[in-house]
Structures are given as C-alpha cells and as structure tokens.
Amino acid sequence: MTKPLNVIELECSACGKKYDPATEQHLCTCGRPLLARYDLMGAKATLTPENLKTRPRTLWRYAEVLPNDPPVSLGEGMTPLVHAKRLCASISIRCPSGGLENLYVKDEGLNPTGSFKARGMTTAVSRAKQLGAKALAAPTAGNAGGALAAYAAAAGLPAVIVMPADTPSANVMECQAFGAKVVKLNGLISDCGKYVAEHKDREGWYDVSTLKEPYRIEGKKTMGYELWEQFGGKLPDVIIYPTGGGVGLIGMCKAFDEMQEMGWIGTERPRMVAVQAKGCAPIVRAWEAHEDSAQFFQNATTIASGLRVPGPLGDLLMLSMLRRTNGTAIAVADNEMLRAGRELASLEGIFGAPEGAATVAAARLLAMAGWIQRSDSVVLFNTGTGYKYSEAWQRALQV
C-alpha cells in the first residue's frame, strides 16, 4: 500500500448500507449500486481554483474527489466546451419562443478511444489493478468495450469484452487491437451482462459492468467538475445528455452534491435532460408515466448503440435526479439523430456520435416547446466521436 485510500466508505444508493472500499465491492446485497464517499471538508482545503490552475489537464486534476490510486491514464478529460453559435442560429430560425443564444457542446469524442467511456474506465481500472484484479470483464453496447480494452492494456491486465453481434465494427476491431478477448452474442447488452455474471466467478473475472462496480461513476462525474471550471465557477442552466446506462447523469449529479457540500455552489442545479432513442426509451417511458422505476424495454433497436440499454440498473437514481433537478426526458428517432448529426458536423465542425447528435435534436424540440428559454445556458454532450459509426453514417448519407 502507498497512501491510505481517500474513499472513506461505499454507500448503497438505495438502502444506505455501508461497505469497505479497501476490498473488492460490486453491488449492495439489495441489488443496487454503491457510491463512493470522501472527506469533503478535507478535500475542500486543497481542491481550490488556485491549485487547479497548475494541475495536469486530465480528469486526475480532481484527485481529492477520486480514488487516489496510481492512475492508469491515457490523457482523458478536460475536453473542449465549444460555443455553438451557428447551431444556435439554426435552432432559433422559426422558433416561436425566441430560440437559443447560449448553446455549448462539450465534445467528449476527443477522449482516448473516442468516447467519454474513457473517463469511467481510467478510475475503474486503476482501482481494480490496486485491488489485485487478475482479469477484467464487461458487457458493452460498443464504446465501453473499446475503453476497457485500452485501459486494461495500459494496466497490463487481460480483458474480456462481451458484445452484441451487431455492435459497430470499429468497436470490435479496437477491442481486438488492444488485445482483449471478444465474445459476440446474438442479443442485447442485457444478455451480454448475464453472460459476464454467469462466467465471472468460475473464470476469476473482475466485473466492470456499468454500475456493478463503484468507480466508473467517479471518473464520469468529473464532467460536472469540468463544467464548473469551464463556466468560470458556475454551472449551466440546462444539461442535455444522451442516456443509456445513466453513469454520466448519475455521476454529474453526484458531483454537484459534492460541490454543494464543499461550498462551491448552492442548492440550485442545472435542469438535467435525459435523451434516449425512440427505439429504446425505458427512462422516457417511466418519466412520462410518472413512475419511480423503469420497465424493461422490449425489442430495443437503435443505431445509437450507446443508448441501446433496455433495462438500466440505475433507473431509480436517474428518475429521482431528473425530478430533483426539474429536468425532463425526451426520445428522438434514429432519422432525426442522423439529420441532427449532419447539422452538428456541417455547422460546428464536430463529427459526433448518433448519441451526441440526439442531444441536438432534443435541444431543438425543447426550444420549440419553450421548455428552454433564450437566456438559458445549455450544454449538449457529444459523448463520442462519429468516426466509429461508419455503418450508421452510411445510412445518413442516404436519408
């Protein structure tokens, strides 16, 4: 052991039961995800705007609120926040409520392996290595597999990636290039998750599935810290986020709670918008039906592979966070994503993933409906690069 672990305890997000972070932990006995807790009063003393000025431009700059393992890092985080003026103008045309003027795109496609999955994997793999994991395994809809395979390679650990047979080919190739073992199944990410759960004990795998270990959230929450820094010590009014497993949404809301406890912000919160695909929208359905939990979404299908998560484990957390922040949930059809993606690329020079493009379509719908006001500052998350989605974009050129 080097320094003692700065994570004081792991706490169940549903029942509050506590777990020891010094040993390997996955879900609570009640079946729900665990969240890492820190000494925030201690963190606050050194995590200051002054100190941040001189820190490395990766997410590890927020060391006090991350597990303090030696980082397995590829330079993730501190992605650009682009003021999307031309996109604003385009959305504002014929918009009865006046359109938008403060629209920004956080371009997560510039992370290692081309998606924000790198954020979660740098912290999860660093911790797993420190805990003595022998092999890492995860089900994936696409980008999580590529990121896990890359960070496992950087850590010198073997990885097993289980993915649907129709996952975008770039994701299959990158996993193979990183030296991971790839298992393809005829099914969805939920079936891949079952496969990992059934094999992990016998094979000695450390399960890095979404929310089934506590540290991917920790890496992803840094998107919230970065927004605070990039907006000069405040947060935007609205955050529009393409939601699959929900790690980013849960992570950012956790970051805001930590920031409030450290006195950085008050009780105000950005209104969080979960964007899903019409072909796989369990959270939108639950939101519209005023439910606390989501039902499994049958026959899920969408080109936005990262949104093809029919039964997310974080449903309770996501729905309560949307409520708490006065947010909303909205679904976008695949064709609308493709059209919006061409708009984002041709107006702003950002070639996004269909998931990221979905937030552009959602912003337009919410502006048209007057849910977003002209004066609101709005952040869209382009969660991945468009370069990995050649199958989807080939379709776009035909529509």
- Binding partner of 12, given ligand PLP, Zn ion, none, CB within 5-8 angstroms per partner class: Zn ion
Site size toward ligand PLP, by CB under 6 A: 18
Q: Name the residue nearer to ligand PLP (CB basis): 214 or 244.
A: 244
According to DSSP, residue 370 is labeled T
**158 CB burial (10 A radius; 0-12, 13-18, 19+):** middle
Report in angstroms how near the CB of residue 30 gets to Zn ion at its nearest: 3
Indicate the burial class of 185 (C-beta count within 10 angstroms; 0-12, 13-18, 19 or more): middle
Interactions with Zn ion, residue window 17-46 (CB under 5 A)? 17, 28, 30, 32
* Nearest distance in Å: CB 279, ligand PLP: 14
CB of 178 to ligand PLP, least distance (A): 16
Which one of residues 99, 145, 219, 242 is an interface residue with ligand PLP (CB under 6 A)? 242
Q: In Å, what is the CA distance from 36 to each residue of 12, 56, 68, 86, 395?
A: 9, 23, 12, 40, 42
The Cα–Cα gap between 189 and 195 comes to 10
Whether 78 and 230 have beta carbons less than 8 Å apart is answered as no
Letter string b/e over residues 226-250, b meaning 16 or more CB atoms within 10 A of that residue's CB: bbbbbeeeebbbbbbbbbbbbbbbb
Asked if residue 15 binds Zn ion (CB under 5 A), the reply is: yes
CA distance 218 to 214: 7
Task: Indicate the residue among 28 and 318 with the shorter CB distance to Zn ion.
Answer: 28
Instruction: Tell me the CA distances in angstroms from 73 to 112, 124, 176, 222, one per residue in order.
Output: 9, 11, 20, 14
Shortest distance, position 177 Cβ to ligand PLP, whole Å: 18
- Per CB under 6 A, the list member of 193, 282, 306, 386 interacting with ligand PLP is 306
Minimum CB distance to Zn ion, residue 14 (Å) = 5
Contact call for residue 117 and ligand PLP (CB under 6 A): yes
Structure tokens given for 88:
């604003």
CB of 134 to Zn ion, least distance (A): 27
- Annotate 157-170 with DSSP letters as a single string: --EEEEEETTS-HH
Task: Indicate the Cα dihedral angle 23, 29, 35, 41, nearest 10°.
Answer: -70
Structure tokens at 145: 């597999």
Smallest gap, in angstroms, from Cβ of residue 386 to ligand PLP?
A: 10
383 binds ligand PLP (CB under 6 A): yes
| Residue 243 binds: one of Zn ion, ligand PLP, none (C-beta under 5 to 8 A by kind) | ligand PLP
Nearer to ligand PLP, 85 or 311 (CB): 311
Window 95 to 114, contacts with ligand PLP (CB under 6 A)? none
Given the complex with ligand PLP, which of 271 and 388 has the nearer CB atom? 388
Q: Which is nearer to ligand PLP, 264 or 381 (CB)?
A: 381
Residue 369 CA to residue 23 CA, distance in Å, equals 49
> In the complex, which residues of this chain contact ligand PLP (CB under 6 A)?
115, 117, 142-144, 210, 242-248, 306, 353, 355, 383-384
> In the complex, which residues of this chain contact Zn ion (CB under 5 A)?
12, 14-15, 17, 28, 30, 32
